Chain A
């Protein structure tokens, strides 16, 4: 698994874009970058994943740098319900999936 580094916490104003960075400089060539979030006392929720290209779905966008050493998760219009801990993980097939400390995002009114 790639070791990932994320800021411990971030704040974002409601309605604004939330940009969550992740450093994964040790990611291997076949590992995808996955993003999950965990709202208090629930199981993690899948958000998005990608390999090289930028990805977008109904929840978020994922921007991966060309060298794949870092990525940014973008929540385009954050709401109060997006307050959660966000985890970035490097993962491939059936390797072990380990979580780092994540970023606690607080969306404020």
Chain B
């Protein structure tokens, strides 16, 4: 199956610093990528939809100035958590949609962010 690589898998940062998370589709092109966050024992919550070459569409309640998404190429999207605070600690997951024929979405392995 198609591979989506998410990096880093774990990151610990100090409060007030920014953290960048990368999501790459390794063997297919993805016009659309999704970003999710997940709190313990909860489902994945969609944060934003990222389309290559255009601005991301954010879900209600998600601050676009805090969660900066860039989808500059068909194989790479990045999520930057700006000025992170402890409440931003969470599990962040990306997915990339492969189109052409049957549409399928493949997920990265997730990034565990801890802000101290």
Say how far B28's CB is from chain A's closest CB, in angstroms. Answer: 13
Main secondary structure, interface of A, reads loop
Which B residues have a C-beta under 8 Å from some C-beta of A? 1, 4, 6, 31-32, 34, 36, 43-46, 49, 51, 91, 93, 95, 97, 99, 102-110, 112
Q: State whether the Cβ of A49 lies closer than 8 Å to any Cβ in chain B.
A: yes
Bound CA span A38–B43, Å: 10
Q: Nearest-CB distance from B37 to chain A (Å)? A: 11
Total number of A residues with any Cβ neighbor in B under 8 Å: 24
Complex contacts, A94 vs chain B, CB 8 Å: 31-32, 49, 51, 97, 99, 103
Q: A41-B91, A93-B99 are in contact. Are A98 and B107 (CB under 8 A)?
A: no
Closest 3 CB pairs of A and B: A43-B107, A99-B44, A94-B32
Q: Which residues of A contact B (CB under 8 A)?
A: 32, 34, 36, 38, 41-46, 49, 85, 87, 91-94, 96-102
Secondary structure at the B interface, as helix, strand, loop or mixed, is strand
- A44-B107, A46-B104, A91-B105 as given contacts; A101 in contact with B43, CB under 8 Å: yes
Interfacial chain B residues near A38, Cβ < 8 Å:
44
Closest to A100 in B: B43
Q: Which residues of A contact B104 (CB under 8 A)?
A: 46, 49
Among A36, A38, A43, A92, which residue has the most Cβ atoms of chain B within 10 A? A43
In the complex the two chains form, what is the Cα distance from A32 to B34 in whole Å?
18
Inter-chain contact B103/A93, CB cutoff 8 Å:
yes
Q: Which A residues are in CB contact (< 8 Å) with B45? A: 99
